[in-house]
Amino acid sequence: MGQRGRKVGASGERSRSLLLQIAADQFAQEGYYNTKISTIVKKAGLTQPTFYLYFQNKDAVFQELVSLFRTKLFSLAESSRLESGIERSALPNQIKAGLTAMFSFFAENPSLTRIGLLQATEAENIKTELAAQITDNLRKEMQDGYFQPTVDVKIVAESLVGIMERLVVTKLLPGIQKPESLANDIVDLLLYGIISKNNG
Amino acid sequence: MGQRGRKVGASGERSRSLLLQIAADQFAQEGYYNTKISTIVKKAGLTQPTFYLYFQNKDAVFQELVSLFRTKLFSLAESSRLESGIERSALPNQIKAGLTAMFSFFAENPSLTRIGLLQATEAENIKTELAAQITDNLRKEMQDGYFQPTVDVKIVAESLVGIMERLVVTKLLPGIQKPESLANDIVDLLLYGIISKNNG
Amino acid sequence: MGQRGRKVGASGERSRSLLLQIAADQFAQEGYYNTKISTIVKKAGLTQPTFYLYFQNKDAVFQELVSLFRTKLFSLAESSRLESGIERSALPNQIKAGLTAMFSFFAENPSLTRIGLLQATEAENIKTELAAQITDNLRKEMQDGYFQPTVDVKIVAESLVGIMERLVVTKLLPGIQKPESLANDIVDLLLYGIISKNNG
Amino acid sequence: MGQRGRKVGASGERSRSLLLQIAADQFAQEGYYNTKISTIVKKAGLTQPTFYLYFQNKDAVFQELVSLFRTKLFSLAESSRLESGIERSALPNQIKAGLTAMFSFFAENPSLTRIGLLQATEAENIKTELAAQITDNLRKEMQDGYFQPTVDVKIVAESLVGIMERLVVTKLLPGIQKPESLANDIVDLLLYGIISKNNG
DNA sequence: GATGAATGAGCATTCATTCAT
DNA sequence: CATGAATGAATGCTCATTCAT
């Protein structure tokens, strides 16, 4: 009793999060305009009015997902803020750890990532904000003399964001490369460059 | 030519390219789904059936613009293919020249760039293809010993594409930075990295 | 009574009349189609199924309110039926008393009045019925020779109803004029007309 | 050719006014909320998008009809403004003429009348405005000494509007009484009252 | 070369109403 | 006595697309 047929109890919240999950996947796969409410509810085994029981409208769900992504992303970025005064030799691993955490988050939330990082109109803002945080981080290390003085931190930050976005799409989400591996590659690239130094 | 008052012959092509131009701007600004044929033709001073005189449908115009972008982009990439056997010291400038050319093209074709690089579903393919070309280039230089042997050229190529995309959006198209300047920044970053070498 | 903590028995009736009251106000203010069950129950601090515990459906509540109006109105009209054989000079006051009673009823039941007199489809019937009763009344007085023989009582009755409706809406319900004052005005107007008799 | 199949030429205006006419009838018979766009276009032999070719939305058509009613009504009321300084004996006929014109207009535009006088939210405003115009008229005649000095012209004007509305609904639109006859009845009633004067 | 007029197909949203508890 | 959760059934509106001229 209460096992068969209509679910009871916390069924409301369950329906809501089910819809939210399906919506996320649908938006991520099909994009905003090709995602139909009718499809979402069908996949959830519900009907259209139920959707509007939990969400104001199509746009509202999308925004909720974007918000979710933003919140999670920035709480993560917050926590991976570099402590100042670390060992010079520890810096690469610090950065790697931060990047790994971020890529892990993306890998664990592929739909949310596609939405918040690629599809949303606010994706641009989010990335800009992310770049700003990275800029902050880099500036500190800059002051500690870890980086070459000619480096334009803003450019580096934006570049890092660009790299992350691209590698998320081409390597991470398709499952070609793991978070840690990507983090390694990026750190190596950005810290040391590619040019051979043996005969500079 | 123009026997009957109204110009004939040329008028058709003129209308077509007018529509194409307006469509490009509209798609670039509003995105595919928010761009309405009715708006395009209104801005062109024409009517909807006229649109269908020149284009099969909405999707076809969009594809035509994407194609245009792709063609132009790859003819450019083709021409900036690095000659092998250049001086080691000339390499950075070679690369800068190539990037500058590319950024110049983007700057001169902002709408097309937004469409082909950001909006189109095929944007992914285009960027992948671009990355493949860059990979080719890098591999040669690799063989010539210009780069550190540990470098993963594919990752570098994808990263470069990511950086380009991001800097196009945040610096180039808003007019904040010029092609050459961006090219310089990127080359410096990718070739030499950011880490201070004074006490390596 | 109320064995189990929550009051029983009375609570039901209380909920019902609460809903009815709120419904009346809502219908009166917003009209039938702009009144939502969801709004009514929200204002009553109840839920939608509870509404259906007490009323068959939306239409039924509305009808109940109309019925209420009709019943009250006609019991009133009944009681103010003119006794025949009154003094000629007492007639105006008799009529005034009847009208005053009616306007008082309207003033005390503004929502019900708006519903039954203005909004309901049956409002037309109600007014027609009211006109019929007035016609009856007038006819008697006609036979008693109180009125000019050329008077078309039906027209007078309908006119009176029209006047009442209009003055209820414009003067009574907004609180601009009191029942007795309105009754006076109407009796003066209808009995004596407006034209100056000094030089007839 | 041009007789069969789709009509050509001024077909646009024809479709528009056809839709407008049908909408008027539909609104008048069924009320705003029971009138469906789908019904209107079906009756017009057209499809829904065509409706939106000519009208912004459902509300806009309704408003257009209300506007039409208002405009026509007040241009009529304007033209039947009483000339001052007429013969005392000519007054009744003057007023009758004005009322007859108005009733004729209502009779000729039954749907518009139902909409603008009864259904529209603005119906109240329209009637108030009409009452104001009548008040103006009456005031002039008051100054000329035609009416009893105790008369409250505003009340008379509102009453007249109430009478008109009621008789339009019960006598004119059902075809029971003609404009002129109604005008006569009203003038007799309002000017002279109903009470017998033979033995005052 | 161009247009006035029209439509097929679809989609988000709303609301009264009900089931199971 | 009351509710959490859900739905059937509409309906307004939009947009790309086309026909006939």
Say whether the CB atom of B5 is under 7 angstroms from strand E: no
Lowest-pLDDT range, A159-173, B90-104, C73-87, D152-166? C73-87
Asked if B184 reaches chain A (Cβ–Cβ under 8 Å), the answer is no
The rounded mean pLDDT for chain A is 90
The pLDDT tens digits for D166-185 are 999 999 999 999 999 999 99
Q: Which nucleotide is nearest to A61 (CA to C1')?
A: E12
Residues 6+ apart with CB under 8 A from A66: A115, A116, A120, A122, A123, A126
A127 confidence band (pLDDT: 50, 70, 90)? very high
DSSP state of D191: H
**Structure letter (DSSP) for residue C147:** B
Q: D147 — phi, psi (to 5°)?
A: -110, 160
Where residue C96 falls among pLDDT bands split at 50, 70, 90? very high
pLDDT digits (tens, 9 = 90+) for C73-90: 999 887 777 666 778 888
B162 touches chain A (CB under 8 A): yes
CB atoms near residue C130 (< 10 Å): 22
Q: Which residue has the higher pLDDT, D42 or D149?
A: D42
Chain A contact set for B148 (CB, 8 A): 192, 194-197
Q: Is the dihedral of CA B106, B110, B112, B113 positive or negative?
A: positive
pLDDT at B4: 38
Given a contact as 3+ CB pairs under 8 Å, which chains touch C?
D
Distance CA(C136)–CA(C158), nearest Å, equals 12
pLDDT-derived band of residue B3, with 50, 70 and 90 as boundaries?
very low
Q: Would you say domain C60-192 falls under CATH 1.10.3470.10?
A: no
Which two three-digit tokens encode residue A163? 């790299």
Alpha helices, DSSP H, located in chain A: 11-30, 37-44, 48-54, 58-79, 91-108, 110-113, 123-143, 153-167, 179-192
Q: Write out the DSSP string of C58-122.
A: HHHHHHHHHHHHHHHHHHHHHHTPPPTT--GGGHHHHHHHHHHHHHHHHHH-HHHHIIIIIISTT
Residue D48: is its pLDDT beyond 70?
yes
Q: Is D156 part of the contact surface with chain C (CB cutoff 8 Å)?
A: yes
pLDDT greater at residue D177 or residue A149: D177
Q: Measured between CB atoms, does D164 come within 8 Å of chain C?
A: yes
Superfamily of domain B10-55: Homeodomain-like (1.10.10.60)
- Model confidence at D159: pLDDT above 80: yes
| Closest residue of chain B to A143, computed from CA coordinates | B196
Nearest to B146 among A128, A149, A196 (CB): A196
Which among C33, C128, C159 has the least Cβ separation from residue D163?
C159
Examine the pLDDT at C47 and tell me if it is beyond 70: yes
pLDDT at C108 over 70: yes
The yes-or-no verdict on residue C9 having pLDDT over 60 is no
Query: How many whole angstroms separate alpha carbon C80 and alpha carbon C102?
Result: 9
Residue predicted with more confidence, B122 or D84: B122
**Contact between residue D26 and residue D13 where contact means Cβ atoms under 8 Å apart:** no
Using one digit for the tens of pLDDT, what is the confidence trace for A100-123? 999 999 999 999 999 999 999 999
Name the percent of chain D lying above pLDDT 70.
91
Least confident of A79-93, C4-18, D18-32: C4-18
The predicted structure's pLDDT at residue C8:
43
Confidence band, pLDDT 50/70/90 cuts, at residue C193: confident
Write down the pLDDT at residue C66.
Answer: 97
Distance CA B134, CA B141 (A): 11
Give the ranges where D32-178 is alpha helix by DSSP (H).
37-44, 48-54, 58-79, 91-108, 110-113, 123-143, 153-167
Percent of chain A with pLDDT over 90: 70
pLDDT at C121: 94
Does the pLDDT at position B87 exceed 90?
no
User: What tokens appear for D7 in the block?
Assistant: 């009509």
The pLDDT confidence band at residue A79, using thresholds 50, 70 and 90, is confident
pLDDT of res. D140: 84
Higher pLDDT among residues D54 and C3, named by residue: D54
pLDDT in tens, D105-136: 999 999 999 999 999 999 999 999 999 999 99
Q: Tell me which of D146, D159, D165, D184 to substitute to probe the interface with C (most C C-beta atoms closer than 10 Å).
A: D159
pLDDT at A12 exceeding the cut of 70? yes
Residue A78: count of CB within 10 angstroms of its CB = 9
**C180: pLDDT confidence band, cut at 50, 70 and 90?**
very high
Question: What pLDDT band is residue C34 in, cutting at 50, 70 and 90?
Answer: very high
Q: Which pLDDT score is estimated for D6?
A: 38
CATH of span A11-55: 1.10.10.60
pLDDT for residue C3 is more than 80: no
* CB within 8 Å: B194 and A147: yes
Position A2 pLDDT exceeds 70? no
Nucleotide in closest CA–C1' contact with B52: F17
Provide the pLDDT for residue C129.
Answer: 95
- Look at residues A161, A159, A176 and name the one whose alpha carbon lies nearest to residue A107: A176
* CB-neighbour burial class of residue C163 (10 A; exposed 0-12, middle 13-18, buried 19+): buried
Higher pLDDT residue, A73 or C14? A73
What pTM was computed for the model? 0.89
Q: Which candidate from D155, D185, D193 shows the least CB-CB separation from C185?
A: D155
Q: Mean pLDDT across the stretch D94-99? A: 91
Share of chain A above pLDDT 70, in %: 91
Which tops the pLDDT comparison, B24 or D12?
A: B24
Whether B82 shows a pLDDT value over 80: the answer reads no
Q: Where in chain D is the domain with CATH 1.10.10.60?
A: 11-55
Question: What pLDDT was estimated at residue B149?
Answer: 87
SS3 A10: coil
**What is the mean predicted confidence (pLDDT) over C29-38?**
96
pLDDT of residue A81: 73
Q: How far is A180 from chain B (nearest CA, A)?
A: 14
How would residue D82 be classed by pLDDT, with cut points 50, 70 and 90? low
* Residue nearest the C1' of E5 (CA based): D12
Q: What burial class does residue D22 get, using C-beta atoms within 10 Å of its C-beta: 0-12 exposed, 13-18 middle, 19+ buried?
A: buried
In the predicted model, what is the mean pLDDT of residues A138-144? Answer: 86
Asked whether residue C187 carries a pLDDT value surpassing 90, the answer given is yes
| Confidence grade of residue A135 (pLDDT, cut at 50, 70, 90) | very high
Of all residues in chain D, what percent carry a pLDDT higher than 90?
Answer: 70
pLDDT category, B200, cuts 50, 70, 90? very low
In the stretch 51-70 of chain B, residues with CB closer than 8 A to chain A read none
Q: Please tell me which residue lies nearest to nucleotide E11, judged from CA to C1'.
A: A36
Alpha-carbon distance C71 to B158, whole Å? 83
Nearest to D158 among C145, C166, C197 (CB): C166
Among C119, C123, C121, smallest CA distance to C131 is for C123
**pLDDT value of position C41:** 96
What is the model's pLDDT at position D20? 97
Indicate the helix (H) or strand (E) that contains D149.
none
Q: CA C34, CA C26: separation in Å to the nearest integer?
A: 9
- Strand F positions within 7 A of protein Cβ atoms: 1-21
* pLDDT-above-70 percentage for chain B: 92
Look-up of token digits 């009250």: C72
Domain with CATH 1.10.357.10 in chain C: 60-192
CA nearest to A91 within chain B: B195
Which CA-bearing residue is nearest the C1' of E1? B12
Position B84 scores a pLDDT of 66
